[in-house]
Amino acid sequence: MTIAPDADTTSAPVPTQSTYQNRVAEYWNAEENPVNLELGKIDDLYHHHYGIGDADRTVLDEPDPERRRKRITTELHRLEHAQAELLADRLGPLSPADRVFDAGCGRGGGSVVAHLRHGCHADGVTISAKQAAFANERARERGIDDHVRYHHRNMLDTGFETGAYAASWNNESTMYVELDLLFAEHARLLRRGGRYVVITGCYNDTYGRASREVSLINAHYICDIHPRSEYFRAMARNRLVPAHVQDLTAEAIPYWELRRQADHLVTGIEDTFLTAYKNGSFQYLLIAADRV
Residues that bind Mg ion (CB under 5 A): 35-36
Give the 3-state secondary structure of residue 98.
coil
- Could you please report the per-residue DSSP string of 59-92? GGG-SSHHHHHHHHHHHHHHHHHHHHHHHHHHH-
Partner interacting with residue 272 (select from ligand GPP, Mg ion, none; CB below 5-8 Å by kind): none
The answer to whether 129 and 152 have CB atoms below 8 angstroms apart is: yes
The answer to whether 286 and 87 have CB atoms below 8 angstroms apart is: yes
Q: Judged by CB, which is closer to ligand GPP: 94, or 217?
A: 217
Tell me if 221 contacts ligand GPP by CB under 6 A: yes
Binding letters toward ligand GPP, positions 152-181, x by CB under 6 A: --------------------x--x------
Q: Which stretch binds ligand GPP (CB under 6 A): 95-103, 110-118, 136-144, 215-223?
A: 215-223
By beta carbon distance, the residue nearest ligand GPP is 201
Q: DSSP label at 14?
A: P
Q: Judged by CB, which is closer to ligand GPP: 166, or 217?
A: 217
In the complex, minimum distance from the CB of residue 15 to ligand GPP, in angstroms, rounded to a whole number: 22
Tell me if 35 contacts ligand GPP by CB under 6 A: yes
Query: Whole-angstrom Cα distance, residue 106 to residue 104?
Result: 6
**Residue 17 CB neighbours (<10 A):** 15
Q: DSSP label at 195?
A: E
Tell me if 132 contacts ligand GPP by CB under 6 A: no
Q: Judged by CB, which is closer to ligand GPP: 101, or 221?
A: 221
Query: Whole-angstrom Cα distance, residue 81 to residue 288?
Result: 19
Q: Judged by CB, which is closer to Mg ion: 35, or 269?
A: 35
Q: DSSP label at 57?
A: G
Binding letters toward ligand GPP, positions 46-85, x by CB under 6 A: --xx------------------------------------
Q: Which stretch binds ligand GPP (CB under 6 A): 94-102, 138-146, 220-228, 235-243?
A: 220-228
Tell me if 286 contacts ligand GPP by CB under 6 A: no
Q: Judged by CB, which is closer to ligand GPP: 96, or 280?
A: 280
Query: Whole-angstrom Cα distance, residue 200 to residue 221?
Result: 14
Tell me if 248 contacts ligand GPP by CB under 6 A: no
**What per-residue string of b and e applies to 244-272 under the rule 16 or more CB within 10 Å gives b?**
eeeebbebbbbbbebbbebeebeeebbeb
CA-derived radius of gyration, the chain = 18
Partner interacting with residue 25 (select from ligand GPP, Mg ion, none; CB below 5-8 Å by kind): none
In the complex, minimum distance from the CB of residue 104 to ligand GPP, in angstroms, rounded to a whole number: 9
Tell me if 201 contacts ligand GPP by CB under 6 A: yes
- β-strand pairing of 99-103 with 121-126: parallel
Q: Judged by CB, which is closer to ligand GPP: 35, or 235?
A: 35
The 240-247 sheet, strands edge to edge:
148-152, 121-126, 99-103, 165-171, 190-203, 282-291, 240-247
The answer to whether 121 and 151 have CB atoms below 8 angstroms apart is: no
Q: Judged by CB, which is closer to Mg ion: 73, or 238?
A: 73
Tell me if 267 contacts ligand GPP by CB under 6 A: yes
Q: Judged by CB, which is closer to ligand GPP: 99, or 226?
A: 226
Give me the phi and psi of 190, to 5 degrees please: -75, 140
